[in-house]
Amino acid sequence: MKIACFFSGQGAQYTGMGEELYHHFPKFKEIIHQANHWLPETYESLVFQPTDKLNDTAYTQPLIYTMSVAAYALLQEAGIKADIVAGLSLGEYAALTASGTLPFEQGLPLVMARGKIMSQGIPQGVGKMVAVLNTPKEVIQEVCDLASSEGVVVPANFNTEKQVVIGGDTSGVTQAVQLLKDRGYKKVLPLKVSGPFHTPLLEPASHLFAKSLDQVTFQPLQLPIVSNVTGDITTDEKQLPHLLTQQMYQAVQWEKTMETCFKTGVTHVIEVGPGKVLSQFVRQTNREIKVLQVENLASFEKTIEELQASQLKETHYVGK
């Protein structure tokens, strides 16, 4: 049995995320209370009751990061250890904490700085992101190139073979969507995000964020982590500041990230944090991988039960 832990990205947040785990597990509550020392308002007030701030990037990012780190801590407490980790966009920071290179007390202030810089980097309404389904990548690249005369538009997330997110200026993205529809590719879904993340429009913001990264001391990696930017395993923590700066304005290579993990012999993927989007991506990419989640009490208990059963089968087989 070989385990990969994948950590949720922005957009997975919802009111009440982690609330059951908070009330059932002292370890989870301990990390939430630790986070409250840095958060502008308590996690409980921002997540356990409806508030528009939950969808404000400056708040969303540290809240998802905190919930994901606390959920992973429950796995560790149960004796479950990942063999390799990765996270989609924002989720890469929780993966870095799980890998041992980014302590929570440094990670949370860093993610807070990231969220604030990204929310201020592009004025509200200037950019747009759209998921394009069931369309060849070369067609998507072609229409982005053609539509760039109207404004910046590029592939921003290569999520799976059948889903690519494009982003950029509203005018450029709108033109690209029209060109796709003219070619018969009509499955496009606008995303509810506050800016065109992972596009060149965020490059100026990345320079500001680089200053925050300079304040962080990354520790030696205890687990291999797969980079969003390259889709390859990163083993040298000295590469991280450069990669994380690039991650803000370059495309996320999530499909390649998953494939890199699978090539190491991964048998189980645990999606850690809110939502099930990454689980869907895994199932669309490799149906042989067992997919589990740690999102709430039921999913955590099921994950522990499944892993214990798999470990027992493995031990029994070896015993023969």
Nearest alpha-carbon partner for 22 in 9, 14, 31: 31
pLDDT tens, position by position, 279-300: 999 999 999 999 999 999 999 9
SS3 of residue 222 by DSSP: coil
Greatest CA separation for the chain: 66
Query: Is the predicted pLDDT of residue 76 greater than 90, yes or no?
Result: yes
Q: Do domains 3-121+201-319 and 127-193 have the same CATH topology?
A: no
Cα–Cα distance, 129 to 173 (Å, whole number): 7
Is CATH 3.90.1150.10 what the domain over 3-121+201-319 is classified as, yes or no?
no
SS3 of residue 192 by DSSP: coil
Query: CA–CA distance from 159 to each of 83, 165, 189, 278, 295 (Å)?
Result: 22, 7, 14, 9, 21
* Terminal C-alpha separation, the chain: 17
Residue whose entry in the numeric block shows the structure tokens 């908070």: 22
- The residues assigned a catalytic role are 89, 198
User: What's 220's DSSP letter?
Assistant: P
Query: Is the predicted pLDDT of residue 26 greater than 50, yes or no?
Result: yes
**Per-domain boundaries in the chain:** 3-121+201-319, 127-193
pLDDT tens, position by position, 84-138: 999 999 999 999 999 999 999 999 999 999 999 998 887 666 789 999 999 999 9
Instruction: Encode 36-53: b = buried (16+ Cβ within 10 Å), e = exposed.
Output: beebeeebbebbbeeeee
Is CATH 3.30.70.270 what the domain over 127-193 is classified as, yes or no?
no
Amino acid (1-letter code) at residue 265: G
The predicted pLDDT at position 313 comes to 63
Cα–Cα distance, 135 to 51 (Å, whole number): 36
Query: Is the predicted pLDDT of residue 213 greater than 50, yes or no?
Result: yes
